[in-house]
């Protein structure tokens, strides 16, 4: 892929208009959502969608999430059953993606769904994402704006770090508030499946549904092709559930009992704060430990409820053996 100049756009009306113009012309624009930065393109433009996969080095069997301004627009692209409607009404705009059958005449490029007959849809709450999607009017396909397999970006600088020179523009909307990707749910007629824990806690979904979410069993045909065990990887070796600093290496703490940690996800033990900090702190420690002879980051235990569940999911993937 040739080098191009990546423009940094501001969130004023001029910047937003330029971003939407680039989308209409088939280009790639990274933009802030409340979860992480997305790398967006017009979901109906096959060439534009193909260039997302090329820019990220993403395998084409891994489908993308489409982003729309509201539920009415979402219904042009996907078919909502009762459960899906209830979840959309309860949690949109917000960090929830729904995997639904593709609507007839959706016009979506088949690359978006990697040839599946379902599509993942989300209505982001971030005001900049909302302005962009309202102005664009259609669906923007957007994975996280990072090189495939690397840590998701929660600032515009993270996006520049990975994708400068290979995408057209980045809308700089500051730090992402949630800091973890959306929770992905597939609502079926009898029950709803959790495909990926994320920025909307499972407890909130279960309260709204009045029943537990179903989980994929080992041996089932995978509902979500993108859930590779090894993902979100830093360069350093990662060891989880460590209650003390390593002899050599860095310590990422959580909570009050981590005096001497190099960074602490939340000194007060707040999971929302920890989620916001997770990816940025992993990046920071990784860049420091990369200069050491044996790059190692150890991570304190994080409780496995609320947002902690998604934090632990990302940490386990980041720590999974490579190759
Ligand atoms: O918060 C987020 O979800 C961010 C922001 C940018 O919206 N996006 C994001 O996209 O995390 P990405 O590409 O990194 O993850 C999308 C996930 C993949 O694991 C993929 O397998 C799953 O969504 N997915 C997409 N379409 C699907 C489908 N039709 N069926 C099952 N899983 C699907
Ligand atoms: Mg991603």
Q: Residue 110 has which token pair?
A: 């088949």
pLDDT of the residue at 233? 78
Question: With the CA atoms of 223, 92, 15 and 29 taken in that order, what torsion angle do they form, in degrees rounded to the nearest 10?
Answer: 0
For the stretch 181-200, pLDDT in tens is: 999 999 998 899 999 999 99
Pocket test for ligand 1, best of 114, 148, 184 (most atoms within 8 A of CB): 184
CA of 249 to the centre of ligand 1 (A): 33
Neighbours of 88 (CB within 10 A): 24
Neighbours of 215 (CB within 10 A): 10
The answer to whether 167 and 30 are in contact (CB under 8 A) is: yes
CA of 116 to the centre of ligand 1 (A): 13
Ligand 1 pocket check for 122: Cβ under 6 Å = yes
CA of 277 to the centre of ligand 1 (A): 21
Q: Whole-prediction pTM value?
A: 0.94
Closest ligand, as measured to the CA of 196: 1
Q: Which ligand 1 atom lies nearest to the CA of residue 226?
A: 21
Residue 300 and residue 281: Cα distance in Å, rounded? 13
Pocket test for ligand 1, best of 37, 125, 148, 181 (most atoms within 8 A of CB): 181
Per-residue pLDDT 10s for the chain (323 aa) are: 557 899 999 999 999 999 999 999 999 999 999 999 999 999 999 999 999 999 999 999 999 999 999 999 999 999 999 999 999 999 999 999 999 999 999 999 999 999 999 999 999 999 999 999 999 999 999 999 999 989 999 999 999 999 999 999 999 999 999 999 999 999 998 899 999 999 999 999 999 999 999 987 766 776 777 665 556 678 899 999 999 999 999 999 999 999 999 999 999 999 999 999 999 999 999 999 988 888 999 999 999 999 999 999 999 999 987 75
Ligand 1 pocket check for 264: Cβ under 6 Å = no
pLDDT of the residue at 223? 74
Q: Which residues pair with 120 in a beta bridge?
A: 65, 99
Ligand 1 pocket check for 34: Cβ under 6 Å = no
Report CA Rg, the chain: 19
pLDDT of the residue at 27? 98
pLDDT of the residue at 320? 87
Q: Which residues pair with 193 in a beta bridge?
A: 186, 214
pLDDT of the residue at 65? 98
CA of 298 to the centre of ligand 1 (A): 28
Give the up-direction half-sphere exposure of residue 280: CA atoms within 13 A in the CB hemisphere: 22
Closest ligand, as measured to the CA of 37: 1
The bridge status of strand 96-101 relative to strand 183-187 is parallel
Residue 22, SS3 per DSSP: helix
Place of tokens 């001497």: 260
- 84 — alpha (psi -120 to 50), left (phi > 0) or beta? alpha
Ligand 1 pocket check for 216: Cβ under 6 Å = no
Beta strands in 84-189 (DSSP E): 96-101, 118-122, 140-141, 169-171, 183-187
pLDDT of the residue at 40? 98
Residue 236 and residue 249: Cα distance in Å, rounded? 9
The one-character DSSP state at 256 is T
What is the greatest pairwise CA distance in the chain?
Answer: 60
Pocket test for ligand 1, best of 41, 120, 167, 313 (most atoms within 8 A of CB): 120
Q: Which ligand 1 atom lies nearest to the CA of residue 64?
A: 25
Q: Which ligand 1 atom lies nearest to the CA of residue 122?
A: 7
pLDDT of the residue at 190? 83
Q: Which of 171, 194, 134, 155 is nearest to 35 (CA)?
A: 155
Q: Which ligand 1 atom lies nearest to the CA of residue 227?
A: 19
Place of tokens 């749910």: 185
């Amino acid at each position: 892929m040739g080098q191009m100049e990546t423009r940094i756009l501001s969130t004023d009306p001029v910047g937003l208009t330029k971003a939407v113009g680039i989308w209409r012309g088939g280009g790639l624009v990274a933009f802030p959502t409340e979860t992480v930065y997305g790398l967006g393109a017009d979901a109906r433009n096959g060439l534009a969608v193909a260039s997302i996969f090329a820019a990220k080095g993403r395998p084409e069997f891994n489908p993308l999430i489409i982003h729309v301004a509201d539920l009415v627009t979402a219904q042009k692209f996907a078919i909502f059953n009762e459960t899906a409607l209830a979840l959309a009404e309860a949690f949109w705009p917000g960090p929830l993606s729904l995997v639904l059958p593709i609507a007839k005449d959706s016009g979506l490029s088949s690359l978006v769904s990697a040839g599946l007959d379902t599509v993942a849809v989300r209505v982001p709450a971030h005001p900049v994402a909302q302005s962009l999607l309202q102005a664009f009017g259609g669906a923007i396909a957007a994975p996280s704006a990072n090189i495939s397999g690397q840590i998701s970006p929660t600032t515009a600088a993270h996006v520049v770090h990975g994708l400068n020179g290979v995408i057209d523009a980045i809308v700089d909307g500051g730090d992402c508030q949630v800091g973890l990707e959306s929770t992905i749910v597939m609502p079926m007629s009898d029950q709803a499946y959790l495909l990926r824990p994320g920025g909307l806690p499972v407890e909130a979904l279960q309260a709204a549904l009045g029943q537990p979410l179903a989980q994929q069993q080992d041996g089932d045909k995978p509902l979500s092709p993108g859930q590779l065990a090894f993902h979100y990887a830093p360069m350093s070796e990662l060891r989880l559930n460590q209650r003390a600093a390593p002899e050599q290496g860095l310590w990422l703490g959580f909570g009050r009992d981590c005096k001497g940690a190099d960074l602490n996800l939340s000194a007060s033990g707040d999971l929302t704060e920890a989620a916001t900090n997770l990816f940025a702190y992993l990046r920071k420690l990784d860049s420091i430990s990369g200069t050491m002879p044996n790059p190692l980051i150890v991570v304190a235990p994080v409780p496995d409820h609320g947002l902690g569940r998604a934090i632990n999911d990302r940490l386990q993937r980041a720590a999974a053996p490579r190759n």
